């Protein structure tokens, strides 16, 4: 079982980031990809003007690319903020202001997965207060996702790069997911299984796959060390993706790696051109 057995999409917030946002879908298409995903593109605002939302939708349509994953507003990403929904005050208010806007945009481009990043722990705030706030906001997000026929994703990051982020193990994320599903009764909260982050946390990725493939709604990959393209590190990514397929996962695999010193278009030699377009 090889890479040809999977459906890949390109994360346009980390790949092709050398280009203006509206040029990235066409660049991904030129590299042979027909599916893409995005972190929330407007890091300064959860409520961008409608004309900016319309322009992004047009860019995706004109390029013939399908948006298969979108983050809710998550603060300064990439950067130290790493999410907003559990941060009391302005940041959680901004997350709430974004929920329906992100869901409506996802519906307008037929995107079926919305990712909600937890917020960092805040010094001087009881973690339980943050977790209670997080559950309230995730329930709102799950309901909005359900309204537009999408799933809600919750992901694990890694402690070395995000030391204040509380979900730094697969079980921690699964516990949150189970709480959200119990609170909503919708069953649409799913695990975003990011192989790079799991490996950075020292988890046994094969065991995570065995335990949680049935709760996984999206997968992301990068090699480790370095967060580069497959083959630049030591992770057995082809084998791990094969284990996912054997465990029953047939969804998208997002390419969320750093291209290195060259243009992003030159970082896909590991994947034959015939295997880049969605099937």
The rounded distance, in Å, linking the Cα atoms of 210 and 243 is 8
User: Between the CA of residue 9 and those of 33, 107, 121, 206, 230, what are the distances in Å?
Assistant: 7, 18, 31, 22, 14
Which of 37, 91, 155, 203 is labelled catalytic?
155
The active-site residue, picked from 37, 91, 203, 256, is 256
CA distances from 191 to 152, 154, 203 (A): 8, 5, 15
C-alpha dihedral sign at 3, 229, 189, 142: negative
Q: What is the DSSP string of 104-125?
A: HHHHHTT--EEE-PPPPP-TTS
Omega before residue 150 within 30° of 0, cis: no
Reply yes or no on whether 256 is catalytic.
Answer: yes
Using the 8-state DSSP alphabet, how is residue 155 labeled? E
Task: Count H helices and E strands in the chain, helices first.
Answer: 8, 8
The C-alpha atoms of residue 253 and residue 159 are separated, in whole angstroms, by: 23
State how far the Cα of 218 lies from the Cα of 224, in Å rounded to an integer.
19
3-state secondary structure 219-250: EEECCCCCCCCCCCCCCCHHHHHHHHHHCCCC
The answer to whether residue 175 is catalytic is no
Q: Among all residues, which ones are annotated catalytic?
A: 155, 256
């Amino acid at each position: 079982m090889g890479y040809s057995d999977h459906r890949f999409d390109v994360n346009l917030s980390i790949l092709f980031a050398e280009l203006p946002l509206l040029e990235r879908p066409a660049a991904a298409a030129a590299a042979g990809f027909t599916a893409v995903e995005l972190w929330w593109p407007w890091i300064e605002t959860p409520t961008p003007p409608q004309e900016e939302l319309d322009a992004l939708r047009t860019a995706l349509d004109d390029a013939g690319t399908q948006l298969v994953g979108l983050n809710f507003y998550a603060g300064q990403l990439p950067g130290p903020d790493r999410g907003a929904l559990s941060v009391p005050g302005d940041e959680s208010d901004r997350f709430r202001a974004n929920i329906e806007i992100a869901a409506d945009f996802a519906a307008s481009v037929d995107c079926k997965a919305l990712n909600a990043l937890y917020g960092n722990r805040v010094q001087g705030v009881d973690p339980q207060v943050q977790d209670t706030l997080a559950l309230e906001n995730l329930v709102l997000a799950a309901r909005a996702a359900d309204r537009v026929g999408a799933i809600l994703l919750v992901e694990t990051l890694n402690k070395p790069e995000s030391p204040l982020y509380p979900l730094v193990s697969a079980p921690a994320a699964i516990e949150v997911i189970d709480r959200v599903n119990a609170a909503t009764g919708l069953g649409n909260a799913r695990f975003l299984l990011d192989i790079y982050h799991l490996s950075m946390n020292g988890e046994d990725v094969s065991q995570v796959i065995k335990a949680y493939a049935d709760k996984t709604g999206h997968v992301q990959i990068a090699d480790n060390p370095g967060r580069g393209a497959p083959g630049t590190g030591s992770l057995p990514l082809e084998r791990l993706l094969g284990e996912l397929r054997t465990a029953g996962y047939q969804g998208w695999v997002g390419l969320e790696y750093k291209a290195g010193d060259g243009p992003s278009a030159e970082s896909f030699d590991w994947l034959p051109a015939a295997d880049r377009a969605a099937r």
